[in-house]
Structure 1
Amino acid sequence: MLFNSYEFIFVFWPISFIVYFLLNRLCPPVFGKLWLAAASLFFYSYWSIKSLPLILASIAFNYVMGRSISHSADKPIRLRKLLLTLGITGNVLLLGYYKYADFFITNINSLFASHINLLELALPLGISFFTFTQIAYLVDAYRGKAKEYSIVSYVLFVTFYPHLIAGPILHHKEMMPQFDRPRSKVIIPGNVARGFFVFCVGLFKKVVIADTLAPIATQGFDVSTHLGFVEAWITSLAYTFQLYFDFSGYSDMAIGIALLFNIKLPINFNSPYKAVSIKDFWSRWHMTLSRFLKDYIYIPLGGNRKGKFRTYFNLVATFLIGGFWHGAGWTFIMWGLMHGVAQVIQRLWQKTGVALPRWCGWLITFLFINFTWVFFRATSWDDALKVLRGMISIGEIHVSLTLAGQVLLILAAFALAMFARNSMELKLKFKPNLRYAAFIAGLFVFSILYFNQVSEFLYFTF
């Protein structure tokens, strides 16, 4: 079930909302949690009922491991580390089997001329996100940062449907106390108004902006066999802005939906294309993933505590893992490697003491981001090289009315990303009055008019 679908907006969301607050008013608190957990599992299995046993097994395994780790606080450290290692290994093996098995088999066949059959497994929806969420829970339990909750509370923490499919990646301690607050169990009109406002902003980003740019990127990456200079830049920039408005649109919609239930999800985007350095970019883009990579990979590897060389190694390793997490392909690994190396280069540059003008830092960062997204989007090396060759083919400049129209669309997307207030800034300025009501209605109706095809979110496949 998509957030940008009639069945979600006009059926599932209203029913889950109304029943949740009726149960909170008429029954003990556990019934509201139980309903929301059940609704979230229905939301998940609506895509494929075959995936339901998998997520339930993952939840059961991690709940048992989390309790075991929490109850071993007074046990020898070796036992606690063993339990944590077993828990993380179980999650990694599950993710690896479904997401990376065919990648490894393909490469083994290529290296050794073998003929191992591919498993051709369907990737369970959201497996990368609910796996990372639960790994974070196990580590927090080991560190004594995750309070023990009932199985119903834990199921709700993992499956809460606004974040289940594509994040944000959550921490147990920042989520579960919110469900237990007495104030959260009643409808708060201000939260309803703000939540629907943010949802509509995200919906507009997705169906009006991202989905309009999608065919341009698809034509260049997947259909065209050759791209001239203008076509290649249009292709790369179309995807750069499609990805931003698609994923930030999803995150806005998730934040908006959760706010109706009086739950505040963490911010995932903060105008990332305004970044003036690669470090600045990763403090603004997919912020909960950046937090996860830092807290659960970079710091455990040693962070910056073991000398310069080890710091640089840890940075590159962290981003390689982040790249591979996004997808089972060498193009994703290359994307992660380039971002890791860029982090190292920035640190080395800072040691020179030479400060670039902000506009120059922004330009270098934006061009680098646009360049690396080519590898992120391409389904093969050939497709990536096709686009990159076109981007430097200055002698092949062709202009047409179609290309001119595409340029105008990209310029409009650029202007919105660079100069308009982002959704969280708009939320801070929001006031429930007639002017905002008219604005919300306009966004909503205009977006609904674009519901002419099923359009999944890009991060559903990662």
Structure 2
Amino acid sequence: MLAFSFSLYYFYLFPLSLVVFYTLRSINNKLALPFLALLSSAFLFLVDWESFLLLTALVLMNFIFIHSDNRSKLLQALLISLNLLPLMLFKTGTVALDNQSSFSVSFNVLLPFGLAFYTLQQISAIIDTNKPDMKKMSLWQYLFFSFCFITLPSGPILTYRQAITEYKQFNHGKIRYNEIALGISLIIFGLAKFCFIALPINQYTDLFTLSLEQKSFTLTFTESLYVMLGSLLKLYFSFSAYSDMAIGMGFCFGLKLPINFDSPLKASSPGSYMNSWHMSFMAFIRTYVFLPLFSLSKKIPIKSMQTRYTTAWTIAVFFSFFLTAVWHTPSNTMVIQGIIVAFILVSIELLKKTHVTEPRQSILRLSKVLSRLITLVCVFITGLFFFAPSFDVAIQLLKNIVTPEKVSVTPLLCPYVDEFHLSLFDCSNFFPSLTSVQQASTFLAPSWAILHMVFTVFIVFFMPNSMHIFNISRSVHSSLLEITWRRSLAFAFILALLFVFSVSMLGNVQGFVYG
């Protein structure tokens, strides 16, 4: 289903909808939005009819509530619970299935298509429309908001309040060719990012994961390190690519979607990391979970105002990160990860609050470096436990990295390691655990895969992100190199080449839908 939805989504549905949308705009503006709503609904029906029926039921129920006179707090709470119920049931079902197999289910692939995303959007509608100053959407607007094929597979999460603001200018005025050119360029850039970076890494990590699941061998230090880095980076670039393409499609239709990704691995603290990854989801958590819970917790009967506020902040942070972990996956390891990250974040912030004297500049610089190192170590280790087939396998991989028994290199590097203990090195190949048949099925040979990983790491830490390159938003994290997109023949030629080669690689796609 995933490969089918990927092909349908990017190569049939989007071009068709774009052509018909602007054709209808030239005839009658009022026809364009209903067309997009109906086409989005048809797309969801073709990809996952069960999800279509579920979302249709939720939309009708919520739309009636939004336009009713009785919008009491009790009814609102009941409706929020009913919207969360399918997600909770499917999450529980995923856990039950996961417990029967050694391979952990990642990316919520057993959930109905888009359920994790449209559930949050529906909840935002229930909460936002209960405010007296909030405008109500028409039926066609609400259908497009709920079924929007642009954001349905992987976000970003567009809340009701944000959608109302966008719809005020949507479908009006002249066609903005600059935004269309920007949007198409961003779509191609995201597609190339997925095909040239995420896909090759994904093929090798899948081979290693399959072998680990079958317990056929023990990985070397080089292979274990590749699995740890690759498991997180394939998600990093896949999710970043999907966000780029969604935001690019939004520009093509005149919609400005929320920024969803801002180089999180450049973050210098756990809090900065979380606020830079899946930004629309974290904004949802901050608005609809953290702030209400913080306001409620401030009523705890503690005499000291500072202690009361600190306690309220701590409770709100822990609960927010717990929900964040549960939303991504219901596995015990992921929930534990969320609690660990919350504990680290709270500890760092509390240490800042209790720092009496002004720190010296040298100590401050050192603390930033240490904070960044601790953040990276925590991110990659928790990512390893998230992607590993089982907890035991994750421990074994971590042991292979911390106390290596074998470091695999190519024969070309053997002369340079003679001065070390040669018995520590395996000079046959970078990936000696994989057979030649398995290696032949990948895009890159092992030596090229290592160079590809080095290049990928360089991009992560020293290159600007897509939103920065395309002048959509300025990143809060600095970059070593500066690249700026502009409308020119040279950039058009480069993007055309990227598109052609990306399409040629899509026959091997085994993609996922985030959420």
Shorter-chain-normalised TM-score: which range?
A: 0.7 to 0.9
Asked whether the equivalents of residues 154 and 513 of structure 2 are also in contact (C-alpha less than 8 Å), the reply is no
Deviations 1:322-371 (A, max 9, x none): 11111121122122112211211221332354535343332221121111
TM-score, normalised on structure 1? 0.88
Distance (Å, rounded) in 2 between the aligned partners of 1:402 and 1:165: 36
Deviations 1:122-152 (A, max 9, x none): 5211101000111122111223464201111
Which residue of 1 is the match for residue 424 of structure 2? none
Task: Measure how far apart 1:444 and its partner are.
Answer: 1.0
Which residue of 2 is the match for residue 419 of structure 1? 462
1:451 alignment partner AA:
L
Distance (Å, rounded) in 2 between the aligned partners of 1:171 and 1:211: 31
Which residue of 1 is the match for residue 314 of structure 2? 312
Asked whether the equivalents of residues 234 and 406 of structure 1 are also in contact (C-alpha less than 8 Å), the reply is no
1:234 alignment partner AA:
Y
More helix by share: 1
Distance (Å, rounded) in 2 between the aligned partners of 1:380 and 1:342: 24
Does the alignment pair 1:330 with 2:358? no
Cα 1:365–1:133 shift into 2, 3 Å = same
Which residue of 1 is the match for residue 399 of structure 2? 389
Deviates more, 1:35-44 or 1:246-255: 35-44
Task: Measure how far apart 1:184 and its partner are.
Answer: 4.2
Cα 1:122–1:457 shift into 2, 3 Å = closer
Cα 1:352–1:395 shift into 2, 3 Å = farther
Q: Figure out how many residues of one structure are paired with residues of the other and give that number.
A: 439
Does the alignment pair 1:457 with 2:485? no
Cα 1:65–1:182 shift into 2, 3 Å = closer
1:368 alignment partner AA:
C
Asked whether the equivalents of residues 221 and 383 of structure 1 are also in contact (C-alpha less than 8 Å), the reply is no
2:486 alignment partner AA:
K
Identity, % of aligned pairs? 28
Which residue of 1 is the match for residue 103 of structure 2? none
Aligned match of 1:402 in 418, 422, 430? Answer: 430
Gaps of 5+ in 2: 101-108, 299-307, 411-428, 432-446, 472-483
Distance (Å, rounded) in 1 between the aligned partners of 2:139 and 2:376: 45
Measured on the aligned residues, the alpha-carbon RMSD in Å equals 2.5
Asked whether the equivalents of residues 331 and 378 of structure 1 are also in contact (C-alpha less than 8 Å), the reply is no
Which residue of 2 is the match for residue 34 of structure 1? 34
Distance (Å, rounded) in 2 between the aligned partners of 1:232 and 1:212: 17
Which residue of 1 is the match for residue 503 of structure 2? 448
Cα 1:385–1:157 shift into 2, 3 Å = same
Distance (Å, rounded) in 1 between the aligned partners of 2:376 and 2:206: 21
Gaps of 5+ in 1: 73-78, 110-120
Cα 1:7–1:293 shift into 2, 3 Å = closer
Asked whether the equivalents of residues 125 and 159 of structure 2 are also in contact (C-alpha less than 8 Å), the reply is yes
Q: Which has the larger radius of gyration?
A: 2
Distance (Å, rounded) in 2 between the aligned partners of 1:106 and 1:373: 18
Which residue of 2 is the match for residue 147 of structure 1? 135
Which residue of 2 is the match for residue 244 of structure 1? 236
Q: Tell me the secondary structure at the aligned position of residue 452 of structure 1.
A: helix
Which residue of 1 is the match for residue 88 of structure 2? 96
Which residue of 1 is the match for residue 382 of structure 2? 372
1:23 alignment partner AA:
L
Distance (Å, rounded) in 1 between the aligned partners of 2:62 and 2:392: 40
1:345 alignment partner AA:
S
Task: Measure how far apart 1:296 and its partner are.
Answer: 1.2
Which residue of 1 is the match for residue 372 of structure 2? 362
2:196 alignment partner AA:
V
TM-score, normalised on structure 2? 0.79
Distance (Å, rounded) in 2 between the aligned partners of 1:402 and 1:287: 36
1:245 alignment partner AA:
F
Which residue of 1 is the match for residue 51 of structure 2? 51
Distance (Å, rounded) in 2 between the aligned partners of 1:135 and 1:9: 28
> Runs of at least 4 residues of structure 1 off by over 6 A?
1-4, 104-107
Distance (Å, rounded) in 2 between the aligned partners of 1:209 and 1:102: 29
Asked whether the equivalents of residues 51 and 115 of structure 2 are also in contact (C-alpha less than 8 Å), the reply is no
Task: Measure how far apart 1:11 and its partner are.
Answer: 2.8
Deviations 1:16-41 (A, max 9, x none): 01111222221251x21110011111
Deviates more, 1:55-64 or 1:93-102: 93-102
